[in-house]
């Protein structure tokens, strides 16, 4: 049976300003960003294990309000401390209907710490231990 079960999956994010987004993902998050020639202002952002996503410039399109990317990290506390040192501010949420409340930017979801942040383009990202 044909299907997508054996395919690779990647996300596509929009950016108001690709150059600004590229600097954020490379300089702040420490990811490799490779321009995608011939596609306009766009690039591939690479992470561990061959995973990654595409980001492209699309001025005037609003960012989605939901989480668009999730990162699983080996050393959650060290990553969060490093990002705070780089000036990243984590989102604060108080959503009793979902049982979600952050304290100093960190929520405990079934005992697992998680944070949310916005990139320079307004896309919501989450980080949790893997």
Q: How many other C-beta atoms are found inside a 10 Å radius of the C-beta of residue 42?
A: 20
Give the pLDDT score at 1: 56
CATH domain 11-129 topology: 2,3-Dihydroxybiphenyl 1,2-Dioxygenase; domain 1 (3.10.180)
Give the pLDDT score at 4: 84
Give the pLDDT score at 20: 98
Residue ranges per structural domain of the chain: 11-129
d(CA 61, CA 59): 6
**Is beta strand 67-73 parallel, antiparallel or unpaired with respect to 124-129?**
parallel
Give the pLDDT score at 7: 83
Q: Tell me the H-state helices in the chain.
A: 18-23, 76-85
Give the pLDDT score at 39: 78
d(CA 73, CA 97): 27
| Full pLDDT tens readout for the chain, 130 residues | 578 888 888 899 999 999 999 999 999 999 999 999 887 899 999 998 889 999 999 999 999 999 999 999 999 999 999 999 999 999 999 999 998 999 999 999 999 999 999 999 999 999 999 9
Helix (H) or strand (E) holding 109: strand 106-109
């Amino acid at each position: 049976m044909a299907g997508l079960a054996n395919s690779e999956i990647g996300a596509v994010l929009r950016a108001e300003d690709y150059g600004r987004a590229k600097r954020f993902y490379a300089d702040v998050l420490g990811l490799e960003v490779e321009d995608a020639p011939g596609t306009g202002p766009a690039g591939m952002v690479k992470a561990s294990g061959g995973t990654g996503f595409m980001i492209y410039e699309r001025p005037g399109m609003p960012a989605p309000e939901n989480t668009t990317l999730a990162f699983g990290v080996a050393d959650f506390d060290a990553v969060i401390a490093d990002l705070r040192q780089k000036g990243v501010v984590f989102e604060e949420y108080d959503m009793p209907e979902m049982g979600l409340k952050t304290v100093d930017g960190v929520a405990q979801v079934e005992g697992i710490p998680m944070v949310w942040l916005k990139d320079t383009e307004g896309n919501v990202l989450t980080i949790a231990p893997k």
